[in-house]
Amino acid sequence: MFQRLYKKCLELAAHKSSNFYLGFVSFIESSFFPIPPDIMIVPMVIAKKKEYIKIFLIASINSVLGGIFGYLIGYLFLIWQCM
């Protein structure tokens, strides 16, 4: 199962909309996805050397937003459990 997810992430790194997919993977990884976005970041930075700051900013910002979303999920389950 993880092999398929790993290969899919590498395919998305080569896609023309790879910045969107990187943001999506970074967001869901910090909430519930088991594979880190690093497997997309490394090929993207190698392919687009001049855009490395943009790539890291996309990954970092979406990871923080995903962490906030994961926190909200936990908070809502805590409230739901206390009812």
Element (H, E) at 8: helix 2-13
What count of Cα atoms within 13 Å lies in the side-chain half-sphere of residue 48? Answer: 16
**Mean pLDDT, rounded, for 66-77:** 92
What count of Cα atoms within 13 Å lies in the side-chain half-sphere of residue 8? Answer: 9
* Cα 58 from Cα 61, distance rounded (Å): 6
Q: What is the pLDDT, as a whole number, of residue 17?
A: 86
- Mapped onto helix, strand or coil, the DSSP state of residue 34 is coil
Q: What is the pLDDT, as a whole number, of residue 1?
A: 63
Encode pLDDT of 1-50 as tens digits: 667 877 777 777 777 888 898 899 899 998 877 778 888 888 888 888 88
* Cα 22 from Cα 40, distance rounded (Å): 7
27 near 63, Cβ under 8 Å? yes
Tokens of 59: 């990954």
Encode pLDDT of 47-69 as tens digits: 888 889 999 999 999 999 999 99
